[in-house]
Amino acid sequence: MTFSIIARCPRTGQLGLATASYSVAIGLYSDNAIRANTGVTLTHGFPNPRNNHLAIALLAQGHAPSHVLSELLANDADGDYRQIALVNREDVAVAHSGAKLRPWAGHRIGKGFVAFGDMLSGQKVVDAMATAYEAADGKGLDEQLLAALEAGRDAGGIVGKQGRLPERSAAMTVWGSQRYNEFDLRVDLHDRAIDDLKRIYTDYKPSIAYYEARAKSPRNAVPAMEFADMLKKQKETT
């Protein structure tokens, strides 16, 4: 009941993920999913919350993604229920979709990315995510990830026993070279979580540079309220 994409931007080296789910607060399972200059991973389906930390630690030791994946499965009696994806800093991508995930479940591996999900309306969901991700090439990893989520939703999204299920939570994260994310947005409980994520993203993006600048040079900072008013005016005039 989740569809996700994890990716590394081959131009910038940024690592990112985007995910949407019927479950509440799906971003909880994105914790520890990324380490700068190391890789990105996610375990969904029936998540195993310890996997992210372990996977990133193994990638950091230098293991190949395929080896890390087999370690995660060997470490887990319920591997058939897990859906796991990894991309390392050399753009090597691997994925596992366990046989006991609720159908349709599967993944599509591309150059430096994996689109995957379970309880989807079909293969077309991950195909649409991959196509949208590739089509947005050059727009920045954040835009690409968001485009992939929207395409997954528009291609049929999540389906339960009674038919289509809403995305109730969503998350997206992008890391650069630092020990903390560049971008990390969440919607934890909403009727249309991807729409809400887009709304927040659109408002948030112009403020990133502002918050960085004011911390580096607090003596010259424009007050937060004045900056917010300025953004609001810009939005109204465009």
Q: Does 123 bind another protein (CB under 8 A)?
A: no
Q: Does 195 bind another protein (CB under 8 A)?
A: no
Q: Tell which one of 74, 191, 223, 236 touches another protein (CB under 8 A).
A: 223
Q: Tell which one of 91, 143, 184, 195 touches another protein (CB under 8 A).
A: 184
**What's the closest the beta carbon of residue 179 comes to another protein, in angstroms?**
5
Residue with tokens 């193994």: 58
Q: Tell which one of 74, 138, 178, 238 touches another protein (CB under 8 A).
A: 178
**What's the closest the beta carbon of residue 160 comes to another protein, in angstroms?**
4
Residue with tokens 């309306």: 121
Question: Which residues does 88 contact at the CB level (< 8 Å), separation at least 6?
Answer: 8, 38, 39, 59, 64, 65
**What's the closest the beta carbon of residue 202 comes to another protein, in angstroms?**
10
**What's the closest the beta carbon of residue 197 comes to another protein, in angstroms?**
8
The 10 Å CB-count burial string (b at 16+, else e) for 156-188 is bbbbeeeeebbbbbbbbbbbbeeeebbbbbbbe
β-pairing verdict for 106-110 and 93-97: unpaired
Q: Does 103 bind another protein (CB under 8 A)?
A: no
CB neighbourhood size of 73 (10 A):
17
**Hey, is 117 helix, strand or coil?**
strand
Alpha carbons 27 and 23: distance in angstroms, whole number:
10
Q: Does 209 bind another protein (CB under 8 A)?
A: no
**What's the closest the beta carbon of residue 56 comes to another protein, in angstroms?**
10
Q: Which residues bind another protein (CB under 8 A)?
A: 1, 22-25, 27-29, 31-32, 45-50, 52-53, 78, 81-82, 100, 102, 160-162, 165, 178-181, 183-189, 199-200, 203-204, 207, 211, 214-219, 221, 223-225, 228
